[in-house]
Amino acid sequence: MSHIWLWIGFNGIAAAALTIDLGFFHRRPHEVRPREAAIWTAIWVGLALLVNLGILLILGHAKALQFLTGYLIEESLSIDNIFVFVLLFRYFAVPKEFQHRVLFWGILGAIILRGAFIFGGIALLRYFEWVSYLLGLLLIWGGIGMVRKQEVAVDPSKNRVVKLFRRFFPVLHDYDGARLITRREGHLLATPLMIVLIAVETTDLVFAFDSIPAVLAISRDPFIVYSSNIAAVLGLRSLYFLFAHVVDRLRYLHVGLAVVLCFVGLKMITGHWFEIGIGLSLAFVALSLGTSVAASLLIPVRTPKTESGSDSGPR
């Protein structure tokens, strides 16, 4: 396991930042504007680069490149989460001033679940090396599926976890401020915000099946995999508020993400015979994502042509 002080330092920075975020800046629910989201995005990216600097000084150049590559992959895959979060908040008509609170508690749950997934995955790869072939194939399959899908379909009414929760816990029909649980006539009731939180958590759990193996293809160091994954998750809320209104414009991003998933899948499968250098991996990931974003912004959207001069009247 990596240097113990890196673990203490990283988790300390993350805990302090989350406390300051919710305890001071977002203590009162409010709508997060793009300017505020941009500032917080810069803060989270800056903290990630600070961690990367610490890794460079303590663990060396190779580990720092692994962290940076894993962070870039995770941050890019996080944008795919934003598509789903937008649809979930629209489906449940979540007031804008409460959306940050939902994502905050969702991030805390994601940190715990992803931490368990990461250490479980590393343990499996350590004792059962053949699992790397399975994870590689899953990544390639996920990349192919990402190219083939035309749109994101979200139907929380079919979410099994939500259905199970509703069966055992009564839920209000209306929101009660930013509360997840409230009391009415002496009875504890869940608010619709709790249902949204459950939907967000289960959605992130599905995305973790792609994102965590993707970083495991870059590094098997527990600290590198954990820190790069969590650093990206911590910045997901600010990314949501920054990109929620323009995410539809990144219409080719899924192609770049698909190429990255297929690449890291092949890297994981073929790693027993030849190793792709981490510098080359970082360059390939950055080029793939940069090209897809540039294509989304530069290639004009095609509009269907209408036939002019045709006789559309009744005959």
Number of domains in the chain: 1
* Percent of the chain's residues with pLDDT above 90: 5
- Is the CB of residue 254 less than 8 Å from the CB of residue 80? yes
Both tokens of residue 168?
């055992």
The pLDDT value recorded for residue 247 is: 67
The length of the chain is: 315
Please state, rounded to an integer, the average pLDDT across all residues of the chain.
Answer: 78
123 within a domain of the structure (yes/no): yes
Of 97-106, 250-259, 260-269, 270-279, where does mean pLDDT reach its minimum?
270-279
What band does 110 get if pLDDT is binned at 50, 70 and 90? confident
Question: Residue 314 above 50 pLDDT?
Answer: no
The pLDDT value recorded for residue 49 is: 92
Question: Residue 130 above 80 pLDDT?
Answer: no
Residue 25 half-sphere exposure toward CB, CA atoms < 13 A: 16
303 within a domain of the structure (yes/no): no
169 within a domain of the structure (yes/no): no
23 within a domain of the structure (yes/no): yes
The pLDDT value recorded for residue 276 is: 72
The pLDDT value recorded for residue 128 is: 72
Of 34-43, 93-102, 243-252, 254-263, where does mean pLDDT reach its minimum?
243-252
Mean pLDDT along residues 277-283: 78
DSSP string, the chain: ---HHHHHHHHHHHHHHHHHIIIIISSS--PPPHHHHHHHHHHHHHHHHHHHHHHHHHH-HHHHHHHHHHHHHHHHHHHHHHHHHHHHHHHTT--HHHHHHHHHHHHHHHHHHHHHHHHHHHHHHHH-TTHHHHHHHHHHHHHHHHHH--S----GGG-HHHHHHHHHS-B-SS--TT-SEEEETTEEEE-HHHHHHHHHHHHHHHHHHHHHHHHHTT---HHHHHHHHHHHHHTHHHHHHHHTTTGGG-TTHHHHHHHHHHHHHHHHHHTTT----HHHHHHHHHHHHHHHHHHHHHSPPP-PPPP-S---S--
Question: Residue 67 above 90 pLDDT?
Answer: yes
Both tokens of residue 54?
């610490």
51 within a domain of the structure (yes/no): yes
pLDDT digits (tens, 9 = 90+) for 258-268: 888 888 888 87
Question: Residue 111 above 90 pLDDT?
Answer: no
Higher pLDDT among residues 230 and 296, named by residue: 230
308 within a domain of the structure (yes/no): no
Distance, CA of 178 to CA of 175 (rounded, Å) = 8
83 within a domain of the structure (yes/no): yes
Question: Residue 21 above 90 pLDDT?
Answer: no
- Is the CB of residue 73 less than 8 Å from the CB of residue 215? yes
Orientation of helix 61-91 relative to helix 34-59, angle to 10°: 150
The pLDDT value recorded for residue 117 is: 79
Please give the residue range of the domain that contains residue 126: 4-148+210-296
35 within a domain of the structure (yes/no): yes
